Chain A
Amino acid sequence: MELPSTSANPHTTPADIEQGRKLYGGRCAGCHGPTGDGGKGANLAQPQLPRAMDDLSLYRVVRYGIPDTEMPATLLAPREVWQICAFVRSLGRLASSGPTGDARNGESIVRGKGGCLACHSIGTEGGRSGPSLLTVGSRRSPGHLRAKLTDPGADVPENYRWVELTAKDGKKAVGPRLNEDTWSIQLLDGSGRLLSYWKKDLASLKSERKTPMPSYQGKLTTSEINDAVTYLSTLRGIQ
């Protein structure tokens, strides 16, 4: 990994920030939103970025991406990476309005009526077949969380696959894919077991980019969804 020798961003003039905005527009805005308030990608319009507390860390994230996440590397020159960094930092100086619901009510919906913990975990509690929600507030914007609750199938992560398979011995397994190659596949089945199969031992294999998550549209009121989003936005890791 090639990193610049300087640890402070050397390209922070207004012209750099403007150029950074242009570069950001084509490469980053799709996930992080045009004003950086997040979407599928993290909310960047905040004073501190958990993955990038200092300039060099931000440079590293922009240039090389974050392994095992949807954040890709970019093929940009150091100056351009710095310009994007400068623009991203400028976003953190903008006032951002968070969700305005009742977080406590939201928590009771997530844990109770919503039944979210049947599949998702928050720390020591919850199920396994959905992604952990422990840090979801720092990774996903309120807008994205709201969209997930109302239309979960709309923006399934790039590499997410829901697998249904039947082995030649008749055994069936259903669950999210963990890994796959030409000849084998690994998944987590509904009872939380880690499974690995050679494809030659399978009678059938269905692998779809879809989520089993139900929509809460019509099941929760607009105000309840807003409260749930407000609570989920507070989940930023073990404090």
Chain B
Amino acid sequence: MKILTAVLAAFPLFAQVTHQRLLEAQAKEPGNWLTYSGNFSGHRYSPLTQINDTNAARLKPAWVYQTNSLQKFETTPLVADGIMYLSEPPSNVTALDPRTGRPLWRYRRTLPGDLRVCCGQVNRGVALLGDLVYVGTLDSYLVALDAHTGAVRWETKVAEYTGGYSITVAPLAVKDKIVVGVAGGEYGVRGLLDAYDAKTGKRAWRFWTIPGPGEPGNETWAGDSWKSGAAGTWVTGAYDPETNLVYWGTGNPGPDWNGEVRKGDNLYSDCIIAVDADTGKLKWYFQFTPHDIHDWDATEVPVLIDGEVRGQKRKLVIFPNRNAFYYVLDRASGQFLLGKPYAKQTWATGLDDNGRPIRVPGTTPTLEGVQVWPSVAGANNWYSPSYSPKNGLLYIAVREGGGVYFIGEAVFKEGQRFDGGGFRSIPGGQDDGAIRAFKPATGEVVWEHKLFSPPFSGVLSTAGNIVFGGTNEGQFFALQGTTGKLLWKFQAGGISRSNPMSYLVDGKQQIAMAIGNALWAFEVQ
């Protein structure tokens, strides 16, 4: 018995990851990181305090795990019961021991050579439920792996990759289902959000992000343009057990920059959709950028908080959008409560009472190119914001900059690129960025820490009063959560395009972040 105890202490026993555990992940298991955003509310917050603003200066790498890929490494690892699970480009999964950084098993997917990916062969993470690990693949399958061995337990085709679909998003395990979305916004797909039975892989429901003929919203697409209208679902959403709604952002309408061939508002592109977790039925939607012509996907992480708006307590969803407006909505009804710019923008004079943008004339892409702020990558993007309930602040890596937008021909052919234009940077433009702390319900800026260039990495806040983030110039850094003061930085030698997370290893806190083509784990030494 003593021997057995020693073995168990050395490697904690993997317990079933139940829905109950996911619901209480942050309150009861701060040493684990069980979902993409750390909790269902999209907070990317760690209640751990071992690493804090008094000792962050002593952070050192604990280990580094190198991938064998030069593709962008965008993963958020999960940690459950002493094991780390991470996805790697293009569609691989590795389980590793976070004490040593040594792999325990690897799943290597063989992919076809004619994938349709707009922006790199990437993957942003896995989901855990029961004793399975779930990953979406670039050839548009959802695959369930045995958490102990990496063996394939089931795989289900979500969509036809030859039709322009791919999966880069980290799935979300909700109750007994795995929710997963698709990419394909530059290939004229018809977007969808799916849920699969976690045990069998059988599809439980599908929500088409573009309504079919006869369905409400189909009339917002001229002619047959709905068939190739894109509206992908490529960033992990949030879930509220009280409303039983899954909140998910949708991508740009297709073709991206040529709106002539798809006149109308183009629902449900560039929306947040709230769908019933059991049935996939739409409860409400809110469209941030009707008839988008700048490729401003609303594929950002929705942040669920309870807060006070105009003296009234509300259940809110906060959505710092790629289009440079900061939105506060009621998450039970979808009602628009507040919206204002949080980065430089030149495309709208403001929002009306319903949150609809009032467009500035002359900002439509042209053959010669038209300058508009924000840039095509926007003021925010797929990478995560972070909400610290302890500090009551929402932290966002904000991108400042504009772009030149072109219109181009757009003739749809299934499985081929369908973007109708393009973009480039503004000659002589001086883009930069900042980590900004906001009062979440009002969007008021409390502090900012300026960055040299527009970041492409998310942030993690911790109960140790730290905000972690990464730069395009290779630094991983820690700011003081209440002030934005720099506490520590480390040059990891590669562009970071991912999100930090935190967990305990044998009772010791680590912070992990994919930077360049490696996963780094840091601890205080």
Whether, in the assembled complex, A75 has its beta carbon less than 8 Å from a beta carbon of chain B, the answer is: yes
Which residues of chain B are within 8 angstroms of A75 by Cβ–Cβ distance? 118-119, 186, 419, 422-423
At the interface, yes or no: A74 with Cβ under 8 Å from chain B?
A: yes
Given A27-B406, A75-B118, A77-B416, the answer on whether A182 and B473 have CB atoms closer than 8 Å is yes
Which chain A positions have C-beta within 8 A of B417? 76-77, 80
Check if A68 is an interface residue, CB within 8 A of chain B: no
A26 touches B486 (CB 8 A): no
- Complex alpha-carbon distance, A106 and B452, angstroms: 42
B346 proximal to A (CB < 8 A):
no
Residues of chain A contacted by B442 (CB below 8 angstroms)? none
**Interface majority SS (helix, strand, loop, mixed), chain A:** loop
Once bound together, how far apart are the Cα atoms of A5 and B113, in whole Å?
9
Q: Cβ of B369 < 8 Å from any Cβ of A?
A: yes
Distance in angstroms between the alpha carbons of A130 and B427 in the assembled complex: 22
Question: In the assembled complex, which residues on chain B have CB atoms less than 8 Å from the CB atom of A26?
Answer: 367-369, 406, 408, 422
Q: Which residue of B lies closest to A1 (CB)?
A: B70
Q: Give the docked Cα–Cα distance between A79 and B409 (Å).
A: 13
- When C-beta atoms are compared, the residue in chain A nearest to B486 turns out to be A183
Residues on the A chain within 8 Å of B369, using CB: 26
Which of A79, A80, A183 is the most central at the interface, judged by chain B CB atoms within 10 Å of its CB? A183
B475 contacts A183, C-beta separation under 8 Å: yes
Q: Is the CB of A209 within 8 A of B428?
A: yes
Q: Mark B413-426, 1 if CB is under 8 A from A, else 0.
A: 00011010011110
Cβ contact within 8 Å between A182 and B422: no
**B287 — which chain A residues lie within 8 A by C-beta?**
none
Tell me if B474 counts as interface (CB < 8 A to partner A): yes
Min C-beta distance of A230 to chain B, whole Å:
29
Chain B, 34-80, CB within 8 A of any chain A CB: 70
Contact string, A74-89, partner B, CB cutoff 8 A, digits 1/0?
1111011000000000
- Whether A23 sits at the interface, judged by CB under 8 Å, is yes
Residue numbers in A under 8 Å from B427 (CB-CB): 30, 158
| A74 in contact with B475 (CB, 8 Å) | no
Q: Report A-chain residues with C-beta under 8 Å of the C-beta of B408.
A: 23, 26
B140 at the interface (CB under 8 A from A): no
- Establish whether residues B471 and A182, one from each chain, have CB atoms under 8 Å apart when the complex forms: yes
With the chains together, A75 CA to B408 CA distance in Å? 12
A80 CA to B186 CA in the complex, in Å? Answer: 14
CB proximity of B412 to chain A, nearest CB, Å:
12
Question: Is A169 interfacial (CB-CB < 8 Å)?
Answer: no
Q: How far is the CB of A32 from chain B (nearest CB, A)?
A: 14
Least CB separation from B256: chain A residue: A75
How many chain A residues have a CB neighbour from B under 8 Å?
Answer: 20
Contacting residues, chain A, for B263 (C-beta < 8 A): none
Which of A161-209 touch B at CB < 8 Å?
Answer: 180-183, 209
Provide the residues of chain B in CB contact with A181, threshold 8 Å.
452, 471, 473-475
| A126 at interface, CB cutoff 8 A | no
CA distance A191 to B367 in the complex (A): 47
Residue with the greatest number of chain A CB neighbours at <10 A, chosen from B119, B419, B452: B452
A30 and B368 CA atoms in complex are apart in Å by 10
A145 to B381, alpha carbons, bound, how many Å? 40
Q: Nearest chain-A residue to B421 (Cβ)?
A: A26
Verify if A99 is at the interface (C-beta below 8 Å from B). Answer: no
Check: B450 CB closer than 8 A to any chain A CB: yes
Which chain B residues border A92 with CB–CB below 8 Å? Answer: none
From 472 to 486 in chain B, residues with beta carbon under 8 angstroms from any chain A beta carbon are 473-475, 477, 486
A72 and B424 contact, CB distance less than 8 A:
yes
Give chain A residues whose Cβ lies under 8 Å from the Cβ of B122.
none
Interface positions, chain B 173-192, Cβ under 8 Å from A, are 186
B451 within 8 A of A: yes
Chain B CB within 10 Å, residue with most, of A25, A74, A75, A180: A75
Q: Is B489 an interface residue (CB 8 A)?
A: yes
Cβ–Cβ < 8 Å partners of B186 in chain A = 75
Which B residue's beta carbon lies closest to that of A182? B452
A67 to chain B, nearest CB (A): 12
Complex contacts, A77 vs chain B, CB 8 Å: 416-417, 419
Do B452 and A180 have beta carbons less than 8 Å apart? yes
Q: Which residue of A lies closest to B451 (CB)?
A: A182
Chain A positions 49 through 85: 1 when the CB is less than 8 Å from some CB of chain B, otherwise 0? 0000000000000000000000010111101100000
Min CB gap B310→A, angstroms: 37
Q: Which residues of A contact B452 (CB under 8 A)?
A: 180-182
B358 to chain A, nearest CB (A): 29
Residue of B nearest to A78 (CB): B417
Kindly state the separation between the CA atoms of A1 and B121 in the bound complex, as whole angstroms.
Answer: 9
Q: Is the CB of A158 within 8 A of B428?
A: yes
B475 near A182 with CB under 8 A, answer yes
Which positions 391-437 of chain B face chain A at CB distance < 8 Å? 406, 408, 416-417, 419, 422-425, 427-428
Q: A158-B427, A183-B486 are in contact. Are A27 and B422 (CB under 8 A)?
A: yes
CB distance from A26 to the nearest CB of B (A): 5
How many Å lie between the Cα of A90 and that of B520 in the bound state? 49
In whole angstroms, how far apart are the Cα atoms of A72 and B423 in the complex? 11
**B residues adjacent to A (C-beta < 8 A):** 70, 113, 118-119, 186, 367-369, 406, 408, 416-417, 419, 422-425, 427-428, 450-452, 471, 473-475, 477, 486, 489
- Pick the 10 closest A-B CB pairs, nearest first: A77-B417, A181-B473, A182-B452, A181-B452, A26-B406, A182-B451, A182-B471, A75-B422, A26-B367, A77-B416
- Give 26 A-B contacts (CB < 8 Å), ordered by A residue: A1-B70, A5-B113, A23-B408, A26-B369, A26-B408, A27-B406, A27-B422, A27-B424, A30-B427, A72-B424, A72-B425, A75-B118, A75-B422, A76-B417, A76-B422, A79-B416, A180-B452, A181-B452, A181-B473, A181-B474, A181-B475, A182-B450, A182-B451, A182-B473, A182-B475, A183-B475
Q: Known contacts A74-B422, A76-B422, A182-B450; can you find 12 more A-B pairs with CB under 8 A?
A: A23-B408, A26-B368, A26-B422, A27-B406, A75-B119, A75-B422, A75-B423, A158-B428, A180-B473, A182-B471, A182-B477, A209-B428
